Amino acid sequence: MHLLDAASLLHAFGPWVLLGIGVVVFIESGVLFPFLPGDSLIVTAAILSGGLGITAWQIVVVGVVAAFLGDQVGFWIGRGAGRRLFRDDARVLKTSRLHEAESFFARYGALSLVLGRFVPVVRTYVPLAAGTADVRWRRFTLWNALGGTVWVVLMTLVGVLLGGIPFVAHNIDVLALVIVVFSVLPVVIGAVRARRGRRSRSTTS
């Protein structure tokens, strides 16, 4: 079993597959561990739902609840600890990641809780940034619920629609790789732009 291989991860959960989905989504949503296959796990679960003995509706319910609760935990971690958890030389809790999430939050405001759901890493740290920024809890909770619901429903719908395509059904690994690539693409583009911006500022100064 590999943590980034959604299909093998789902099969490894066995009869506890719904609990496993919930735990992974919960951790990735706000418990400061972004390197889990959130997007591909939900899509793959929807595609393999028949063989796993679960339904699309069960995936939606479990995914939405886990995403909501994960973000709540991330928010309160940010409210209570904030930047004290982050270091420049850390492997996971790097200061640069918090800065990226804060910039994303500053740019899109509460809407970032919806948009950030579709961007790995950002998805994990935006709730923390919201808590650090002392966003009102009621406002955060409203957008958190909306973002988690939209994300899980769309990912499940993608899996349901693609599951009817024979090529996709027999090439889950390829699909998971495509989802990961497209999910990470905005992060890579943002990093490249930021690097170019720093270089241009250094050459002009």
Q: pLDDT (tens digit, 9 = 90+) per residue, 122-148?
A: 788 888 888 887 788 898 899 999 999
Distance separating alpha carbons of residues 122 and 138, to the nearest angstrom: 21
Q: The pTM is what?
A: 0.75
Distance separating alpha carbons of residues 55 and 23, to the nearest angstrom: 18
Asked whether the predicted pLDDT for residue 20 surpasses 90, the reply is yes
Amino acid at 37: P
Distance separating alpha carbons of residues 10 and 16, to the nearest angstrom: 9
Q: Where are the beta strands (DSSP E) in the chain?
A: none
Between 169 and 60, name the one with better pLDDT: 60
